Amino acid sequence: MGQDPTNASQEDTKIQDVKVEDTKAQDATAEDTKTQDIKAEGTKAEDVKVEDTANTQSETKAQQEKPESDTKKQQEKPAQKRPNRARKPRSNQKKWDISQFEVAPVEGKRRFHDLNLPDVLMHGIQDLKFEYCSPIQGEILPHTLQGFDAIGKAQTGTGKTAAFLISLITDLLTHEVEHERYLAEPRALIVAPTRELAMQIAEDAKKLCKYADLHVVLMVGGMDYTKQKNAMATKLVDIVVATPGRLIDFMTRKDLHLDMVENLVLDEADRMLDMGFIPQVKRIVRATPRIESRQTQLFSATFNYDVLELAHQWTHEAVSIEVAPENVATDTVDQKFYMVSNDDKFKLLVNLLKQDDVTKVIIFANRRDQTQRLYDRVKKLGIKIGILSGEITQQKRTRTLEDLKTGKLDVLVATDVVGRGIHIDGVTHVINYTLPDNPEDYVHRIGRTGRAGAEGIAITLACEYEAFEMPAIEDLLGKKLTCELPPEELLKPY
C-alpha cells in the first residue's frame, strides 16, 4: 500500500505537536534549572567578588592552605530550604474571553458566535477548531436553544453530535438546579445504539465541556460495570451517554435514576429499531420525566413509519429538521461500482489495497464469518489489517479503532453493526466487499469516508446478483449509479 502524504503529514503534525509540547515542557524545566543555576552561580560570583576585592592572592593561598576538615564542613552544610512563596497567577496570563476567538461573518453561514452560547462552551468549540455551524447545526440550534424538542433527519458526518450536545450543554449551564441534587441522577441522558457511537459521543461531550464544570459518564456494555458505577460515586453526574442494554442494567440495580433528566437525546433511532432495542428504549424513556418536563431530541438517518411513530410519541411539539442524505453521501464521496464475479472479488480487493492512494481503508462485509475470512486472507499478505465484529471484545475494538486512527493499521474489516459507529477522519476509501441487504446501510457505510469536508472514495464490488439491489440504493440517494467493469490491471494476479 502506498502512503497518502496528506494523511501522513497530518499524523506527523499531530505527533510533532505533542513532541513540541513535550519539548516545551522539558525546556521549561531546563529553563527553571538554568535560572536556578545562574542564581547559584551569581551568588558564588558575588562571594568571589567580595573576596577578590579583599585580596585575591591571599584568598588563593588561604584556600590552598585550608585544613581539610574546613572544606568538609562546607560540603556538609545542609542546603538551605527555599522559602515557601505563595504565587499569584502571572499578570500577563489573560483569562480567556470571546475576543480571543475571532471568526469573520460570512454570507450564508451561521457562526457559533451568533447563537449566544456560554463562554466556557465557546472556548471548547474554539479548541475543536469549529468556526461555522454545519447545515444541521445551523438549522436546528436556533430552535433547540430555545428549549424546543427536535426531530432531526441526519446521519453521521453531518455534525449532528455537536448539534445536540451544544444545545444540551448550553441548557445545563444556563439553568441551574434549584432543588437539592443527589448522586447518580443525571440531568441529561443520551442513548445510542452501539458502544462505538456512545463512546464517540462521550468523547465529544468531554471535549466540548473542557472548560465547563459538567461531569460526563459513559455507560456501555463490554466494559467494567463497577468502574462506570464508581464514576458517579463521589461526584454529581450531569451527562450520561449510554447504550440501552447497559443503561437498563444500571436502572434495574437502582444504580442510576432517570427521574431528574431534563434533556433526553435518542440518537440513531432507526438503528435502535433495527437492532431490536425499542422495548428497552421505551422503558428508558418511561423512566424519565413527562414529555412536557424534559427536552427531547431524536435523530435518525432514515424515517420509516415505525421511527416516525416513535418520534412523535416521544417528542412534544417538535421542530423537524432534515439534512438530505444526498447532500452527505454524494457531495464528498466519489462512488464507484465494479461489476465482478465472485471468483475475482478477492483479487480485485487486493489490487485495490495495493494502490498508492489507498491509505486508510474500511472494508465492509455483511456477515461475521465473511469479515473473519477476509481478515485472515488479507493479513497473510502482510497488510496491516484489523477486524471489528460483534464477537470481538470491547477492549479489543477500542484498541483496533485507535490503531487505525494513529496509523498502526491501514485497513479495517467490519460488519455493519459495529462499522456504523466508526468515526475516524482521514479514511480515504470504503470498500463494500458485499452489498448490504439494507440500502440505508450502504449510505452509512460510505459515510465513513469523506468526513469533515474531506474527499473520500467508496468502491462497491458487486457480483451479478448484488447488482439487482442497486435500484433501491439509487432510490434512497435520488441519483443514478453506474456499474462498470474494473480496469484490467486490477484483475491481474497479485
CA pair distance 353, 382, nearest whole angstrom:
12
Binding piece for ligand AMP, criterion CB under 6 A, among 129-137, 248-256, 353-361, 413-421: 129-137
Question: Minimum distance from CB of 95 to ligand AMP (Å)?
Answer: 25
Give the position of cell 458566535: 113
Q: Does 170 bind ligand AMP (CB under 6 A)?
A: no
Binding piece for ligand AMP, criterion CB under 6 A, among 152-160, 340-348, 354-362, 475-483: 152-160
Q: Is 26 exposed, middle or buried (0-12, 13-18, 19+ CB in 10 A)?
A: exposed
Q: Does 130 bind ligand AMP (CB under 6 A)?
A: yes
Question: Under rule CB under 6 A, how many of the chain's residues touch ligand AMP?
Answer: 15
Binding piece for ligand AMP, criterion CB under 6 A, among 22-30, 160-168, 252-260, 318-326: 160-168
Q: How many CA atoms lie within 13 A of 120 on its CB side?
A: 14
Which three three-digit cell numbers place residue 94? 489573560
Binding piece for ligand AMP, criterion CB under 6 A, among 151-159, 267-275, 382-390, 404-412: 151-159
Question: Minimum distance from CB of 403 to ligand AMP (Å)?
Answer: 18
- Kindly tell me which residue out of 126, 137, 330, 438 binds ligand AMP, with binding defined by CB under 6 A: 137
Q: Map the footprint of ligand AMP across residues 407-426, applying CB under 6 A.
A: 423, 425
Question: Minimum distance from CB of 393 to ligand AMP (Å)?
Answer: 24
CA pair distance 293, 368, nearest whole angstrom:
43
Query: Between 360 and 378, whose beta carbon lies closer to ligand AMP?
Result: 360
Give the position of cell 456499474: 483
Q: Does 434 bind ligand AMP (CB under 6 A)?
A: no
Query: Between 159 and 439, whose beta carbon lies closer to ligand AMP?
Result: 159
CA distances, 305 to each of 159, 291, 396 (Å): 25, 21, 37
Torsion sign (Cα): 485, 487, 492, 494: negative
The DSSP letter of residue 200 is: H
Query: Between 111 and 345, whose beta carbon lies closer to ligand AMP?
Result: 111
Q: Map the footprint of ligand AMP across residues 445-484, applying CB under 6 A.
A: 451-452
Question: Minimum distance from CB of 128 to ligand AMP (Å)?
Answer: 6
Query: Between 156 and 449, whose beta carbon lies closer to ligand AMP?
Result: 156
- Kindly tell me which residue out of 157, 244, 421, 426 binds ligand AMP, with binding defined by CB under 6 A: 157
Which three three-digit cell numbers place residue 36? 536556578
What is the per-residue binding string for ligand AMP in 381-400, x denoting contact by CB under 6 A? --------------------
Question: Minimum distance from CB of 160 to ligand AMP (Å)?
Answer: 5
Query: Between 131 and 255, whose beta carbon lies closer to ligand AMP?
Result: 131
Give the position of cell 462498470: 484
Q: Where are the beta strands (DSSP E) in 167-236?
A: 188-191, 216-219
Which three three-digit cell numbers place residue 232? 458517579
- Kindly tell me which residue out of 126, 144, 156, 330 binds ligand AMP, with binding defined by CB under 6 A: 156
- Kindly tell me which residue out of 126, 144, 158, 449 binds ligand AMP, with binding defined by CB under 6 A: 158
Q: Rounded to the nearest 10 degrees, how much is the dihedral formed by the CA atoms of 30, 34, 36, 37?
A: 130
- Kindly tell me which residue out of 123, 153, 160, 405 binds ligand AMP, with binding defined by CB under 6 A: 160
Question: Minimum distance from CB of 18 to ligand AMP (Å)?
Answer: 19
**Residues near 480 by beta carbon (within 8 Å), at least 6 away in sequence:** 474
Task: Decide: helix, strand or coil at residue 297.
Answer: strand
Q: Does 161 bind ligand AMP (CB under 6 A)?
A: yes
Is residue 374 within 8 Å of 441, Cβ to Cβ?
A: no
Q: Does 404 bind ligand AMP (CB under 6 A)?
A: no
CA pair distance 463, 461, nearest whole angstrom:
7
Question: Minimum distance from CB of 162 to ligand AMP (Å)?
Answer: 4
Closest CA to 488 of 377, 361, 355, 351: 351
Question: Minimum distance from CB of 207 to ligand AMP (Å)?
Answer: 8
**Residues near 288 by beta carbon (within 8 Å), at least 6 away in sequence:** 189, 258, 259, 261, 264, 294
Q: Calculate helix-pair angle for 394-406, 195-208, nearest 10 degrees.
A: 60
Question: Minimum distance from CB of 161 to ligand AMP (Å)?
Answer: 3
Q: Does 133 bind ligand AMP (CB under 6 A)?
A: yes
**Residues near 366 by beta carbon (within 8 Å), at least 6 away in sequence:** 415, 416, 434, 436, 437
Question: Minimum distance from CB of 134 to ligand AMP (Å)?
Answer: 5
Give the position of cell 448522586: 183
**Residues near 326 by beta carbon (within 8 Å), at least 6 away in sequence:** 477, 478, 479
Question: Minimum distance from CB of 159 to ligand AMP (Å)?
Answer: 3
Torsion sign (Cα): 473, 475, 480, 485: positive
Give the position of cell 452509512: 444
Q: Map the footprint of ligand AMP across residues 215-254, applying CB under 6 A.
A: none
Query: Between 136 and 242, whose beta carbon lies closer to ligand AMP?
Result: 136
- Kindly tell me which residue out of 126, 134, 167, 330 binds ligand AMP, with binding defined by CB under 6 A: 134
Closest CA to 476 of 331, 321, 301: 301
Which three three-digit cell numbers place residue 383? 497488510
What is the per-residue binding string for ligand AMP in 355-374, x denoting contact by CB under 6 A? --------------------
Interface with ligand AMP by CB under 6 A: which residues?
Answer: 130, 133-134, 137, 156-162, 423, 425, 451-452
